[in-house]
Amino acid sequence: MSFLVRRCCLTHNVNIFFTQRRFRYKKKWATQLKEKSHTDRALEYFDIYYKPFYAKLWPSIRISLLSQQKYGALVNNFSIDEDTVNNLSQLGAFDIIQQARDTEPLVEKSEHPTIGEVVKEMDPFRDPEENMEPEPDNLDMFMPVKKVYSDKQIKKQEEIKQSLYSPKDVVKTVPCLSTRLPENLKLYVYDLGNVSDFPKPTTVKSNLLDYYLLDAASILPVIALDLVPNDHVLDLCAAPGGKTLAILQTLLTENLVCNDKCRNRNQRLINVLRYYTNRNKDTSSIQVTCKNGLQFTEPIFDKVLVDVPCNSDRHVALNEDNNLFKPGRIEERIHLPKLQSDLLVAGIKSCKPGGSVVYSTCTLSFSQNDGVIQSAFETIWTETNINIVVEDMQPLFSRFRNTFNFFPKCRFGQLVLPKLSSNFGPMYVCKINRLQ
């Protein structure tokens, strides 16, 4: 029989029997090829949850997230080389902190969000076939189960819940009190539309590196701290150390505890301190700790920075490695807003009355930004007698409007949106003052 088939194929010039094994169609490989990558999943998530909120701005934000990010060069004040600034200027870069000093603040009435409407519009639960009326809580009343959900569907629903939040009036906002831009901070960037790279930092005379490259918007949380000489500062989630270094570059304080739960990342922070400041982790004024941030609760710090783990939008949109949108990390993702809120509550508890806490993320997720501020306020009101208010940073940050593209619709914080001509961020910053 097989001889007959073979003959038939030969006579009809059909060569399936002679196709080399490696070129044969394999169903399994074909399905694997179609499988979504982690970056695909991240973008799909953004399109579901961010697009309705950012509306007309979304196409520009999306393309910017996928394009080359812009960096800023933070000048190292501990390396005694006057040429650094000259070299950066010769490259065509300029100091955005100086530019902000020369720019008048602009007080804009922020357009408060229509998040309720947005949520209604985007509710992925909404199924035209299904009546979504809430079911009664009364257990005496027997209600037949309409649908049994699989584990996967339950996870999906939890993900939906963690991605949205319902605004409540629990947050009190006061006008901006901070007006200072730290005298010694110098952060060089290229002009709008110029996407040149900075040369790699080099070691200068003092054996220290001359500048540190970071997303220029990372300077905003440090400015929001409004440091004054000898402030006792806690950087709760500090590694790999970009913002820690910026705090030190203000030359206003070395009275600093930098903490990070992750040992490997902490090592990177220690290296930053070594290569940029000559301090090692055991100098009396800078202390590096490796604890769970939730353990900090003693009110002993004047200023606290809570730069939490988040969706890290740029990273997950572009990198397969260590991607939070890996299917196996869904639980971690679902629990992020709760972890962020708990870390912020710990930061508020660690702050002295009269001090300030700055919360920051590098995500566009409104549940991880304004949503976390609201949830931390709820916890503080209900579980403690601490009194806090949000300080509106818009007037001070408006001095950076020539560099950063701010979203006008946040309820509490300020958010830098990526834009092709100034591709910084996302960076969300919210300042909370502890009154009591």
Output the six-digit token pair for 423: 């591709």
Least Cβ distance, residue 267 to ligand SAM (angstroms)? 11
Least Cβ distance, residue 150 to ligand SAM (angstroms)? 30
Nearer to ligand SAM, 115 or 227 (CB): 227
Among candidate residues 310, 413, 390, 292, the one with its CA nearest the CA of residue 346: 292
Nearer to ligand SAM, 42 or 115 (CB): 42
72 is an interface residue for ligand SAM by CB under 6 A: no
Q: Which of 310, 362, 410, 430 is catalytic?
A: 362
How many residues touch ligand SAM under the rule CB under 6 A: the total is 19
351 is a catalytic site residue = no
d(CA 125, CA 109): 34
Q: Which of residues 218-237 bind ligand SAM (CB under 6 A)?
A: 218, 237
Give the residue, chosen from 43, 171, 217, 239, that forms a contact with ligand SAM under the rule CB under 6 A. Answer: 239
Helices (H) and strands (E) in the chain, counts: 17, 14
Sequence-distant (6+) residues with CB within 8 A of 49 are: 122, 163, 164, 365
Least Cβ distance, residue 243 to ligand SAM (angstroms)? 4
- Quick note: the x/- pattern for ligand SAM over 111-140, rule CB under 6 A, is ------------------------------
- The sign of the dihedral angle between the CA atoms of 226, 230, 235, 241 is positive
- Quick note: the x/- pattern for ligand SAM over 182-221, rule CB under 6 A, is ------------------------------------x---
Phi, psi for residue 174 in degrees, rounded to 5: -115, 160
CA distances from 163 to 122, 249, 290, 414 (A): 11, 36, 29, 19
Contact 356, 391 (CB under 8 A): yes
d(CA 114, CA 162): 18
361: which strand partners? 428
- Find the part of the chain contacting ligand SAM (CB under 6 A) among 83-91, 146-154, 301-309, 428-436: 301-309
CA distances from 362 to 21, 90, 368, 391 (A): 48, 31, 10, 20
Q: Which amino acid is at 44?
A: E
Give the residue, chosen from 182, 242, 337, 371, that forms a contact with ligand SAM under the rule CB under 6 A. Answer: 242
371 is an interface residue for ligand SAM by CB under 6 A: no
Least Cβ distance, residue 362 to ligand SAM (angstroms)? 6
Nearer to ligand SAM, 272 or 410 (CB): 272
- Find the part of the chain contacting ligand SAM (CB under 6 A) among 77-85, 291-299, 365-373, 413-421: 291-299
48 is an interface residue for ligand SAM by CB under 6 A: no
- Find the part of the chain contacting ligand SAM (CB under 6 A) among 274-282, 306-314, 379-387, 417-425: 306-314
Output the six-digit token pair for 169: 């009036």
Among candidate residues 210, 219, 266, the one with its CA nearest the CA of residue 241: 266
Give the residue, chosen from 72, 182, 201, 293, that forms a contact with ligand SAM under the rule CB under 6 A. Answer: 293
d(CA 425, CA 419): 9
Sequence-distant (6+) residues with CB within 8 A of 303 are: 225, 226, 227, 231, 232, 233, 234, 351, 355, 356, 357, 358
337 is an interface residue for ligand SAM by CB under 6 A: no
302 is an interface residue for ligand SAM by CB under 6 A: no
Nearer to ligand SAM, 242 or 371 (CB): 242
70 is an interface residue for ligand SAM by CB under 6 A: no
Give the residue, chosen from 91, 122, 192, 262, that forms a contact with ligand SAM under the rule CB under 6 A. Answer: 262
Among candidate residues 369, 347, 75, 352, the one with its CA nearest the CA of residue 235: 347
Positions annotated as catalytic residues are: 362
Q: Applying CB under 6 A, which residues contact ligand SAM?
A: 218, 237-243, 259-262, 265, 292-294, 307-309
